[in-house]
Amino acid sequence: MNWQLDMDIFTIFSIIGTIAFAVSGAIVAMEEEYDILGVYVLGLVTAFGGGVVRNLLIDVPVTTLWTQGPLLKTAIIAMTIAFILPVNWIQRWQRSEAFFDAIGLSAFAIQGALYATGKHPLSAVIVAAMLTGIGGGMIRDVLAGRKPLVLRDEIYAVWAMGAGAVIGLGWFKSPFELLVLFVIVIVFRMLSVKYKWRLPRRSLKFALSQSVHSEEKRAAAAAVLDEQKKGNSK
């Protein structure tokens, strides 16, 4: 019975993440003015790319993707609907994009952690959660010619890693506990968007520009002093 419940919750998270990320990829493709083939490619990559990378790292055959027929059909239906939606509906999605992105992140992070739990050590569970949660979005951004958001902006991967850690440690096991964790990850993701939480970063570009600016100021000051000395000598 518990096994059946675990499989049901695994399926639910897979469906939620697939829909959220497939539509996300499709809308990014339309923003970049890709044709309908580009919409499907980017949507599928976003929905399944993270899982494929995860499978490669935890030694699961990549061909298991082709056993996910229902999820592939779900993604195609979701992308088709997104493609034919009126523009004002798409604009509403874009205004709520961070929320739906958080749903996909949370669902796929938990799904990835469940996939690796019991088969691999804690470190692998955390990596599986992170890659499943963020891998598809990273590939999507690269294909769309964008800098991956997860590597340069808001706290993003941290929440996926946190979900993987608590699942790997066995703190969240039952379907109810996993649903609570699903909500927690979404809440923290949205809080990081609202309050613009950031991981520490160091910008060499800014530092170098400041250094060049300082050198120019020192050179200008030295030139002024030289002019003054010349004037005094006269």
Q: What is the pLDDT of residues 83-96, one digit of tens each?
A: 998 888 877 776 77
Helices 36-57 & 2-31, crossing angle to 10 degrees? 140
Residue 87, pLDDT score: 84
The mean per-residue pLDDT over the stretch 190-218 comes to 71
Asked if residues 83 and 30 have their Cβ atoms less than 8 Å apart, the reply is yes
Which is more confidently placed, 83 or 154? 83
- Percent of the chain beyond pLDDT 70? 81
Residue 153 pLDDT more than 80?
no
The mean per-residue pLDDT over the stretch 6-16 comes to 72
Residue 181 pLDDT more than 90?
yes
Q: Which residues contact 143 (CB under 8 A, 6 or more apart)?
A: 41, 42, 45
Residue 83, pLDDT score: 92
Residue 2, pLDDT score: 45
Asked if residues 25 and 45 have their Cβ atoms less than 8 Å apart, the reply is yes
Q: Which residues contact 23 (CB under 8 A, 6 or more apart)?
A: 43, 78, 79, 81, 82, 93, 100
Q: What is the pLDDT of residues 117-151, one digit of tens each?
A: 888 899 999 999 999 998 988 898 889 888 887 77
Residue 93, pLDDT score: 72
pTM for the whole structure: 0.77
How buried is 175 (Cβ within 10 angstroms: 0-12 exposed, 13-18 middle, 19+ buried)?
middle
Core vs surface per residue 116-154: b (16+ CB within 10 A) or e: bbeebeeebbbbbbbbbbbbbbbbbbebbeeeeebeeeb
Asked if residues 155 and 192 have their Cβ atoms less than 8 Å apart, the reply is yes
Q: CA–CA separation, 11 vs 195, rounded Å?
A: 32
Mean pLDDT of the chain: 82
Least confident of 13-17, 49-53, 199-203, 230-234: 230-234
Residue 206 pLDDT more than 80?
no
Helices 87-95 & 97-116, crossing angle to 10 degrees? 70
Which H/E stretch holds residue 69? helix 69-84
Asked if residues 98 and 37 have their Cβ atoms less than 8 Å apart, the reply is no
